[in-house]
């Protein structure tokens, strides 16, 4: 049992918050989407009551899981599940076909929120229960801090994890560590390990990290040079991807790829809504006067693919509408700058699992001649550790890239 206020307590608390953040981002998106079709007043009520019911249900499930994990063998089973959950984090997400239905009333929205959270939070429950190690104060405080954070900052958290993929890798490594620590404390083997192989208390958690990262690399078929201490450095994918599928474009006013004035220089500016990305737009307005002929400007916003389970509870129309609205929201400031300067441009909102690869793919599809983007103002050392979107674009495209700090 972890005692309140000890270093182990605070470390475990941080782990619970980390597990919730990594595993719960899309749960909060479902909450917003389920209430999307309702009038504004009913939206607020549906989100409040649906979220409240989901929080209570998750707390109850986690407490039950904590008690069940005290039984022999169940921790070993739970450790295996955690390892698989961690590996799944490192695999590319599939965009669901959309099987859910539009929500027409508040009761249906609350029901959708409750069922969706139940289905999508089982991995979260197992992870949190494993970290808590039977400590109810730790469990309650951790959930009290992290659940509101996930609900009210879900969009920010999803964008943060998309921009810094190392967060996902570290989250998967954390789950691998917890799985190893969980296995070694199972009542069936704990006494024997304590008496004959105490070194397993260190070895198994480390082995959990190695298994997760190694298996994740294998299944994802990526050439990634992963160093947990430094983070995940995105490596170049195999160049033989000539048959890749066209990007799914949610919003745009561009011509069909391959059609248009082939002689005009095409300039692509990725925009994610951040102040940093707007610096690239400001630089564009300066650089534009350097061209002999005005370039054809394309603003691009990449929307991260939602968890495939989302489509089970939300209609395809609502998901598409979500992508559309989020994309236009993130493009708004950049478009306003160009409109004010009376600069013509085309804008696009596309869906992509990894922003860097999606930007590179878009550039190939549309015959882009130059990419202008920001580095989010990080130092070279921080950029090396975090693996920015700009760094990923440089690795995945042959198109000249101009970076703005």
**The pLDDT of residue 186:** 86
**pLDDT at 103 exceeding the cut of 70:** no
**pLDDT at 79 exceeding the cut of 80:** yes
pLDDT band at 137, cuts 50/70/90? confident
Decide: 239 and 232 in contact? Cβ < 8 Å: no
Both 114 and 255 in one domain: the answer is no
Nearest-angstrom CA–CA distance, 204 and 382: 31
Residue 293, in any domain of the structure: yes
What is the CA 300 to chain-centroid distance, rounded? 19
Residue 130, in any domain of the structure: yes
Nearest-angstrom CA–CA distance, 124 and 111: 20
Q: What is the domain-level CATH number for residue 290?
A: 3.40.50.620
**pLDDT at 352 exceeding the cut of 90:** no
**DSSP bridge partners of 80:** none
pLDDT digits (tens, 9 = 90+) for 142-163: 777 767 766 666 666 666 776 6
* % of the chain exceeding 90 in pLDDT: 12
Both 397 and 261 in one domain: the answer is yes
Residue 240, in any domain of the structure: no
- Among the candidates 210, 233, 256, a domain finishes at 233
**pLDDT at 221 exceeding the cut of 50:** no
136-152 vs 154-163: helix crossing angle, rounded to 10? 90
Both 75 and 184 in one domain: the answer is yes
- Among the candidates 207, 233, 259, a domain finishes at 233
pLDDT digits (tens, 9 = 90+) for 163-213: 666 777 788 888 888 888 888 888 888 888 888 988 988 898 898 888 888
Both 329 and 208 in one domain: the answer is no
Count: domains in the chain: 2
Nearest-angstrom CA–CA distance, 228 and 127: 20
Both 113 and 215 in one domain: the answer is yes
Residue 239, in any domain of the structure: no
Query: Domain range spanning residue 357?
Result: 248-404
Out of 75-89, 231-245, 261-275, 380-394, which region has the weakest mean confidence (pLDDT)? 231-245
Residue 393, in any domain of the structure: yes
**pLDDT at 217 exceeding the cut of 70:** no
pLDDT digits (tens, 9 = 90+) for 20-53: 777 766 666 777 777 766 777 777 788 778 777 8
**pLDDT at 301 exceeding the cut of 90:** yes
- Among the candidates 190, 206, 233, a domain finishes at 233
**pLDDT at 96 exceeding the cut of 60:** no
Both 261 and 363 in one domain: the answer is yes
Residue 242, in any domain of the structure: no
**The pLDDT of residue 269:** 94
Q: Which two tokens stand for residue 285?
A: 């307005």
pLDDT band at 234, cuts 50/70/90? very low
Decide: 32 and 329 in contact? Cβ < 8 Å: no
pLDDT band at 64, cuts 50/70/90? confident
Both 200 and 289 in one domain: the answer is no
**The pLDDT of residue 26:** 66
pLDDT band at 371, cuts 50/70/90? very high
**The pLDDT of residue 309:** 67
For residues 96, 94, 54, 176, the Cα torsion angle rounded to the nearest 10 degrees is 160
Residue 243, in any domain of the structure: no
Please give the span between the terminal C-alpha atoms of the chain, in angstroms, as a whole number. Answer: 49
Nearest-angstrom CA–CA distance, 191 and 9: 23
Q: Mean pLDDT of all residues in the chain? A: 76
**The pLDDT of residue 134:** 79
Residue 238, in any domain of the structure: no
Both 226 and 162 in one domain: the answer is yes
Looking at per-residue pLDDT, the higher value among 325 and 41 belongs to: 325
Looking at per-residue pLDDT, the higher value among 209 and 262 belongs to: 209
**pLDDT at 387 exceeding the cut of 60:** no
**The pLDDT of residue 255:** 53
Q: Looking at residues 229-245, what average pLDDT do you find? A: 41
Both 163 and 280 in one domain: the answer is no
Both 210 and 306 in one domain: the answer is no
Both 70 and 111 in one domain: the answer is yes
Both 311 and 343 in one domain: the answer is yes
**The pLDDT of residue 41:** 77
**The pLDDT of residue 382:** 43
**The pLDDT of residue 349:** 93
**The pLDDT of residue 56:** 81
Strands (E), 272-344: 296-304
């Amino acid at each position: 049992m972890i005692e309140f206020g000890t270093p182990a307590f605070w470390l475990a608390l941080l782990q619970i918050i980390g597990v919730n953040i990594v595993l719960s981002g899309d749960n909060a998106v479902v909450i917003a989407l389920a209430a999307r079709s309702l009038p504004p007043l009913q939206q607020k009520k549906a989100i409040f009551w649906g979220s409240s019911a989901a929080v209570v249900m998750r707390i109850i499930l986690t407490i039950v899981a904590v008690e069940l994990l005290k039984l022999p063998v169940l921790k070993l089973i739970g450790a295996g599940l955690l390892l698989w959950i961690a590996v799944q984090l490192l695999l590319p997400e599939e965009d669901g076909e959309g099987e859910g239905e539009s929500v027409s009333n508040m009761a249906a929205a609350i029901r959708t929120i409750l069922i969706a959270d139940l289905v999508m939070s089982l991995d979260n429950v197992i992870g949190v229960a494993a970290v808590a190690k039977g400590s109810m104060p730790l469990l309650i405080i951790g959930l009290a801090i992290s659940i509101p954070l996930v609900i009210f900052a879900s969009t920010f958290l999803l964008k943060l994890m998309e921009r810094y993929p190392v967060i996902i890798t570290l989250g998967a490594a954390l789950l691998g560590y917890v799985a190893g620590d969980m296995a070694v404390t199972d009542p069936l083997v704990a006494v024997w390990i304590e008496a004959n192989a105490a070194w397993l208390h260190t070895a198994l958690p480390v082995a959990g990290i190695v298994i997760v990262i190694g298996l994740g690399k294998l299944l994802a078929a990526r050439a990634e040079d992963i160093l947990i201490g430094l983070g995940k450095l995105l490596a170049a994918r195999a160049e033989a991807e000539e048959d890749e599928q066209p990007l799914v474009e949610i919003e745009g006013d561009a011509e069909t790829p391959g059609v248009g004035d082939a002689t005009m220089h095409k300039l692509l500016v990725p925009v994610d809504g951040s102040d940093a990305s707007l610096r690239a737009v400001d630089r564009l307005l300066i650089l534009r006067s350097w061209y002999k002929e005005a370039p054809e400007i394309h603003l691009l916003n990449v929307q991260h693919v939602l968890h495939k389970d989302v489509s089970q509870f939300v209609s395809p129309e609502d998901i598409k509408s979500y992508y559309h609205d989020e994309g236009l929201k993130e493009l708004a400031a950049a478009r306003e700058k160009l409109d004010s300067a009376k600069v013509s441009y085309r804008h696009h909102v596309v869906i992509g699992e990894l922003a860097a690869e999606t930007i590179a793919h878009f550039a190939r599809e549309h015959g882009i001649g130059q990419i202008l983007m920001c580095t989010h103002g990080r130092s070279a050392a921080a950029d090396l550790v975090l693996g920015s979107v700009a760094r990923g674009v440089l690795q995945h495209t042959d198109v000249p890239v101009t970076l703005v700090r």
